Structure 1
Amino acid sequence: MSVQDPCIEACQKCAVACENCLSEMLDEQSDNDCPRCCRECIDLCLLCAQAVARNSRFSEEICRLCADACEWCAEQCGAHDHDHCQKCAEACRACVKSCRSMAQAS
């Protein structure tokens, strides 16, 4: 297992959780930025996983940006009682931790 694997895995899990949350929220009303944050998170998590996997020279910056987006998404989705929102927020928090560690290790 390489140093990058936990970050890649966290990003992939987060993208899936956000995709599920986004799908579930299509017919729901939201009083905050959920599901908008999910859309941002999905794109950035996938980009981050790809950048880290290929040892991109920009992976540190992408990891920081991904962590920022995931932090925002965790706050927004975490404010909802829906199970899918809580799972999304949990995956986002794990991704924040992993991406911040990866950015510091670079």
Structure 2
Amino acid sequence: MNRECIEACQKCATECEQCLDAMIDIDSNNDCPRCCRECIDVCLLCAQAMARDSRFADAICRLCADVCQWCAEQCGAHQHDHCQRCAESCRKCVESCRAMAA
């Protein structure tokens, strides 16, 4: 289960990176792509914390789930393919991180 969550965080960070890059010259009416920047950082931190079995992994997973939920809502509001992929990856990360933090 830990491996699954690490992979979900890594995939989410990658999808957010691609969304962030694609949104550089596109006007946004919400927090996309700002949320992607936050999500990338917390997803990578979360994957690292789980990989080293950090005593704070549960707390970081909870934070990661919250940030990914916000990002999923923001990116999911856009019709761009990259935003939809990002939002889907964020939703999967939320599910996995919440299960780890339970």
Query: Normalised by the size of structure 2, how large is the TM-score?
Result: 0.99
- Runs of 4+ residues deviating >3 angstroms: none
Report what 1:100 is aligned to.
98
Q: Which runs of 5+ in 1 are unaligned?
A: none
Aligned length, in residue pairs: 102
Q: How does 1:1-106 map to 2 (within 5 A)?
A: 3-104=1-102
Question: Percent identity among equivalent residues?
Answer: 73
Query: Normalised by the size of structure 1, how large is the TM-score?
Result: 0.96
Q: Could you list the per-position Cα deviations for residues 16-52 of structure 1 after superposition, in whole angstroms to 9, with x for gaps in the alignment?
A: 0000000000000000000000000000000000000
Alpha carbon RMSD of aligned pairs, Å? Answer: 0.3
Q: Which runs of 5+ in 2 are unaligned?
A: none
Cα shift at 1:79: 0.1
